[in-house]
Structure 1
């Protein structure tokens, strides 16, 4: 993976930002506590994207959010016998896998069918499939290091990789999740926080169109908490998309020089 020196990751936060400074992480699950990395409850990790990470692919991107590191390769559009049999529109194929060294327990890397299906659902509504009839676009995501909020990072990185490949989309797709920890909602959770969460909410959207492409909720949530979690994610997705666009603009201006 050759390229220029990596720029400083850009952090982003939904509004309003709140900061809590109380005892150590989960010393008392029901009390106020400090996040392991010292972030405010509504503060996302620094986000870094870089395109052109895989030379052999039509488009690719690398993303790093804290300890979560992901690389996505896009191949195609290429002729698809399956697509020719039943449809005049393009076909999207998604695969998410974990490197053997990605998780704390070594050797657990494998394909993740649930994540692959969710990645497909998140992206399909944003891609203009009519622009590549009877062909297939393949999206391969590899989690290099699992540091929490893996799927949202994969989805956002895949969107940048698709744009890098020149695939026509209605808008970029950004994804952010929140964890419910006792009475608190924490955005962009780390692995440690996810392991203690009472519930999670992941939202994927096209920020410019203000259109949600996927919403996944686990655990027990009140209507008020769901609304609060969605608003946090929507605001953060909008700001994350700006970082994604900046990466693509830098790559485009670099290629013109």
Structure 2
């Protein structure tokens, strides 16, 4: 069968004008002073936190956290003999890995997040763990984001701290983490995924509330000094409240096991 050769025309689907207009309008809403958060919270109000231990039977310790639409599960294994030669080391080794389920969110580019989140989780936890309590051995922390609903990393860190305590790993204190997004003139705590997508900057603090020590601080975007101070105060206050919730979860778990 004969015919003229040629290349099939390529087609593309441009963003419909109505969708572009909706996105622009939505972004402008966040710049206004009197906009309302989609879940009805105040700007300085965190999502309800649900925490429980013993989520994974095969692990040395584990925890499940649910903050709004953000759902995370963390498993801790060890202390166990390290695969690497550590005869020279008087302190233990901490390994951290953060991953996302394929259905966590359709829009997330997961490759870069894995390494970055894993590194930040390690730094946030390392200062709270008494590494001398398990020399020449390794503790592995595996965090899995089941659903990404915003503020994923702070939830992962707080959940991992609870999982470590559930595993009997000696800690100086439990770790709590909270983030704040800067949206126009407003600071919103514990932002949702939608709010994070329009933020001008973000600040995340990880701390040990009882010791009043910060183990990790991450800052992105452009901030004025007064805004940084305000955001830090919001985060530290929320971390203190979250620490009390985490302790209550551990006490309830201990009472149930007796």
Q: TM-score per shorter chain, which class?
A: 0.7 to 0.9
Find the counterpart in structure 2 of residue 217 from structure 1.
219
User: Structure 1 residues 191 and 87 mapped into 2: Cα distance closer, same or farther (>3 Å)?
Assistant: same
Q: 1: distance between equivalents of 2:102 and 2:173?
A: 33
Find the counterpart in structure 2 of residue 179 from structure 1.
181
Alpha carbon RMSD of aligned pairs, Å? 1.6
4+ runs of 1 displaced by more than 2 Å?
24-30, 108-111
Find the counterpart in structure 1 of residue 37 from structure 2.
35
Q: Does 1:163 align with 2:168?
A: no
* 3-state SS, counterpart of residue 118 of structure 1: helix
Find the counterpart in structure 2 of residue 125 from structure 1.
127
Q: 2: distance between equivalents of 1:104 and 1:80?
A: 36
User: Under a length normalisation based on structure 1, what TM-score does the superposition of the two structures give?
Assistant: 0.87
Q: Does 1:99 align with 2:101?
A: yes
* 3-state SS, counterpart of residue 94 of structure 2: strand
Q: Structure 1 stretches of 5 or more lacking a match?
A: 1-23
Give the helix-richer structure, 1 or 2: 2
Q: 2: distance between equivalents of 1:65 and 1:167?
A: 24
Find the counterpart in structure 2 of residue 200 from structure 1.
202
Q: Compute the displacement of 1:109 (Å).
A: 5.5
User: Under a length normalisation based on structure 2, what TM-score does the superposition of the two structures give?
Assistant: 0.87
Find the counterpart in structure 2 of residue 45 from structure 1.
47
Q: Compute the displacement of 1:27 (Å).
A: 5.2
Q: 1: distance between equivalents of 2:31 and 2:64?
A: 37
From 77, 80, 84, the equivalent of 2:79 is: 77
Q: Compute the displacement of 1:151 (Å).
A: 0.2
- Between structure 1 and structure 2, the one with the greater Rg is 2
1:83–1:136 contact (8 Å) kept in structure 2: no
* 3-state SS, counterpart of residue 42 of structure 1: coil
* 3-state SS, counterpart of residue 212 of structure 1: strand
Q: Compute the displacement of 1:83 (Å).
A: 5.6
1:74–1:137 contact (8 Å) kept in structure 2: yes
Q: 1: distance between equivalents of 2:143 and 2:104?
A: 13
Count how many residue pairs are aligned between Structure 1 and Structure 2: 232
